[in-house]
Copies of this chain bind each other. A is one copy, B any other.
Amino acid sequence: MTIDETPGGRPPSSAHEIERYGGLFAKRTRGMTSSAMRDMMAVTARPEVISLATGLPDTTTFPAEDFAWLMARVAVDSSAAALQYGPTDGLDDVRRCIVEVMAAEGTEVEIDDIMVTTGGQQVIDLVCRAFLDPGDVVVAEAPTYPGAVPCFNSFQADVVQIAMDEHGMRMDVLEETLARLKREGRRPKFIYTIPNFQNPGGVTMSLERRRALVKIAAEQELVILEDNPYGLLRYEGEPLPTLYSLDGGRYVIYLGTFSKILSAGLRLGWTAAPKPILERMNLGKQAADLCSSPLNQYFVAAYFQHRDWRTYLTQLRTIYRRRRDVMLAALEEYFPAEATFTRPQGGLFLWATLPDYLDTTDLLARALREHVAFVPGRAAYLDGRGGSEMRLNFSGVNEDEIREGVRRIGKVIAEQVALYGTLTGQKPAPKRGADVVEFRRREAS
C-alpha cells in the first residue's frame, strides 16, 4: 500500500507523462504498489523523527575497527577475486558459513543445497519467479511481511491470508482454506510463513503446528517458503526446529539472511532448497543479477574466519531483549486499555491492535507531525484489512527513544479516543490489566 499522506520521495509523474507509456507497461505493474516501509524511509531518515517503523538492525553495535580490519584482510588475501564477478550460487566459503549458521539452529544442510542471494528479499522474488503464473494462489499469514506484498503483487498472485493466534498460523483455518480453494479450482502454489517471531505479528509457531504444516504440505504437494530472518534472535523460551529440518528437504524452501545477525548493508541472504527448485532459482538469479557481490561475500567469509559471530549475536540479543522489554512497559503505560499487543519471544517487531474505530493510516499522519513513525496495519494485508492495527519495531532506536516514541503515539491515540468519546458520548474504557497482552484472534480471509 502507498502511504499517500507521507511526505518525502520524488514528486509523482504528471498524467501526461504517464500516458506516454501507459499502453506499454506490463499488466503486472497495475497491481504494483510501494511497500509502506520503503515509502517511509525518506521521512524516517530525518534525525528528528523516532522511527518505530522500519525493521532496522542496530548497526552502530558493529565495531568500525573490525569492519576496516576485515576489509583490509579481504584486500590482502583476495582483492582481485573480491572485485570480480563470482559464481551465481555464491562462494563456497560463504556457503560453509551458512551451514554453520543453520547448524546453530539445529538444521543440517549441505553446501550444494544452498544458494547465496542478494538479501533475503531476493529469495521471495526468486520463489515467485519459479512458481507463480498470474492468478496462482499464495497462502500467507494474516498479517504478513509488508515487504512481501509488493513482490506477490508484481507476480499477480492471488494471496489468501490465514488467521494466526498466539501459536502462529491456525492449522484448522489453513485446512479449511485449502479445501475451499480445491473446491473452487484455485491452485495454491506455496505457503509463505515466518515461523519465528513473525514479522509483523511477533508470534511464534508452536512445534505441534510446525509438524502439522509440514505434513499438510507433503500430503497436498505444496511448497512451503520458510522465511526465518530472526530465528537466532531469541530472547526467551526454547528454540524450535525449523520447518526445513522437520520436512527433510522435500517441500520446504528455507530463507535465511545475514541482515539481522551481521549487516543489512551487505545485501546477502540465502536459500536452502530441494535441488530441482534450487536449479530454477539459480536460473532466475542469472537473469536477475548474475551473482551477489563477491566483495561482500569475502567480507562475510573473513568475518566468520577471524571473529566469533556468536559473540556478536549474543550482544545483539542482550540489546534487543532490553529494548523489547522497554517497549512492552511503555505500551502498558501509554497505550489505552482497549489496545492489545503481542509479546514476542524474539525478533524485531510486535503488533498492536487498537479499538476498531481508530484508523492507523490516519493516525500515522498525525504521529508524523509528532515526529514518530510506525507501520500501519493495512501494509500487512492484501485486502484492506488491518485498519486499526500497527507494527512497532524495537531494534532500530535506543531505549529512551522507544519510550518517547511510544509515549508520542500513545498521546495521538488518546486524543483520537477522547475525540471519539466526545462525538459518541461513550466513556473511554478503563486502563487495561497485563492479562490482555495477547494476539487477538481474527478470521481467515
- Interface of A with B (CB < 8 Å)? 10, 12-13, 17-18, 20-21, 23-29, 32-35, 38, 41-42, 45, 54, 56-57, 59-60, 62, 64-65, 67-68, 71-72, 74-76, 79-89, 112, 118-119, 121-122, 125, 129-133, 136, 147, 150-151, 153-154, 189-190, 221-223, 250, 259, 263-267, 274-277, 279-280, 282-284, 286-296, 299
Given A20-B276, A71-B75, CB of A265 within 8 Å of CB of B86: yes
**A75 with B64: CB separation less than 8 A:** yes
When A21-B277, A223-B21 are in contact, do A288 and B288 touch as well, CB less than 8 Å? yes
Min CB distance A15 to B, Å, is: 10
Give A251 Cβ to nearest chain B Cβ, in Å: 8
Closest beta carbon of chain B to A422's beta carbon, Å: 41
Measured in the bound complex, the distance between the Cα atoms of B23 and A12 in whole Å is: 41
If A88-B38, A276-B20 touch, whether A283 touches B75 (CB-CB below 8 Å) is no
Closest-by-CB residue of B relative to A76 is B64
Complex contacts, A13 vs chain B, CB 8 Å: 275-276, 279
Report chain B residues within 8 Å CB of A279.
10, 12-13
Copies of this chain, complex-wide, total 2
Given A85-B265, A289-B121, A293-B266, A25-B130 contact (CB < 8 Å)? yes
- A265 contact set on B, CB distance < 8 A: 81-86, 293-295
Given contacts A20-B221, A38-B88, whether A26 and B286 have CB atoms under 8 Å apart is no
Q: Given A38-B88, A221-B20, A264-B85, are A287 and B32 also a contact pair (CB < 8 Å)?
A: yes
Contact partners of A287 in chain B: CB under 8 A: 32, 121, 125, 150-151, 153-154
Chain A interface secondary structure, helix, strand, loop or mixed?
helix
CB contacts (< 8 Å) of A41 on chain B: these are 85, 87-88
Known: A17-B274, A150-B286, A276-B21. A26 touches B131 (CB 8 A): yes
Chain B: minimal CB distance from A86 (Å): 7
In the bound complex, residues from chain B placing their C-beta under 8 Å from that of A28 are 129, 133
With the chains together, A153 CA to B82 CA distance in Å?
A: 30
Which B residues touch A259, using CB under 8 A? 85
CB pair A288 B80 closer than 8 Å: no
Instruction: State which of B26, B33, B277, B292 has its C-beta within 8 Å of the C-beta of A130.
Output: B26
Query: Measured between alpha carbons, how far is A24 from B289 in the docked complex, in Å?
Result: 24
Contact (Cβ within 8 A) B60 A29: no
Q: Among B56, B150, B153, B267, point to the contact of A292 (Cβ < 8 A).
A: B267
A24 in complex: contacting residue of B74, B76, B88, B223, CB < 8 Å: B223
Closest to A32 in B: B283
Distance, CA A296 to CA B267, complexed state (A): 10
Complex interface: chain B residues within 8 A of A112 (CB):
10
Could you write out 17 A-B pairs with CB less than 8 Å apart?
A13-B279, A18-B276, A25-B130, A26-B129, A26-B131, A26-B132, A59-B79, A59-B80, A59-B81, A64-B76, A67-B83, A119-B290, A121-B287, A129-B154, A151-B287, A267-B290, A289-B289
Query: Most chain-B CB neighbours within 10 Å: which of A45, A147, A287, A294?
Result: A287
Given A32-B287, A131-B24, the answer on whether A65 and B56 have CB atoms closer than 8 Å is no
- In the complex the two chains form, is B56's CB within 8 Å of A85's CB? yes
Q: Report whether A266 and B295 are in contact in the complex, using a CB–CB cutoff of 8 Å.
A: yes
Would A25 and B280 count as touching, CB distance under 8 A? Answer: yes
Compute how far the CA of A432 lies from the CA of B80 in the bound complex, rounded to whole angstroms: 39
Contacts of A250 in B (CB 8 A): 20
Q: Determine whether the beta carbon of B85 is less than 8 Å from that of A118.
A: no
Contacts of A71 in B (CB 8 A): 67-68, 71-72, 74-75
**Shortest distance between the CB of A188 and any CB in chain B (Å):** 9
